Amino acid sequence: MVVLMAAVGISGSGKTTTLEFLVSRLSVMGFKVGVIKHIHRENFTIDREGSNTWRFSRAGSKITVAFSPKEIAIIKNKKTTTEDLEWVIEQLKTEQLDIIFIEGFHGYIQKRPDVAKIVTAKTQEDLARTLEMTVPPVVAICGLVTKSKPEQTDIPYVDLPDEGDKLLELVKRRLEPR
């Protein structure tokens, strides 16, 4: 069974840096890694104006697939919901991945006990707010907040990249029992 793990925190708190670190290290170790990134900018599109796929979508295609020698992109034209996130997770599970990292979908992911979390924060105040809204399991705390004096907690603080091996071990523990 694939492990689901998310980086949760406010914008600019270190989520992408944390996941980039983990993806690069785990991939080199031979783990099969997938990532889901939530982009919440209203008018964002991966399809660029004027491209063939854009033209097909504009003509009315509900799903357009761009297929090249190195990539497959599925462009589904619809207003998305958390049900779509579940669909994407199920699709990635068919790829026989070891772990799927999720960045974003905070309000939804923070409440899921089946998703392990790495909380990232800039300040102790940010950390307190994020932890208050996040159900366990929380694997670690990362981000700029680790540079300040840590508050007393059972959750390990991990200062990346200096203590990266510590975070890697915490994540690998979730992978090994499988």
CATH number of 145's domain? 3.40.50.300
The candidate with the shortest Cα–Cα distance to 53, out of 72, 27, 32, 28, is 72
Quickly count: other Cβ atoms within 10 Å of residue 17's Cβ. 15
pTM of the model: 0.88
Q: Is residue 12 part of a domain?
A: yes
Give mean pLDDT, residues 92-106: 92
- Alpha-helix runs per DSSP H in 29-140: 52-59, 82-93, 106-109, 124-132
Residue 167 CA from chain centroid, whole number: 15
Number of separate domains in the chain: 1
Task: Decide if pLDDT at 101 tops 90.
Answer: yes
Q: Is residue 98 part of a domain?
A: yes
Q: Is residue 63 part of a domain?
A: no
134-171 residue pLDDT tens = 999 999 999 999 988 777 789 999 999 999 999 999 99
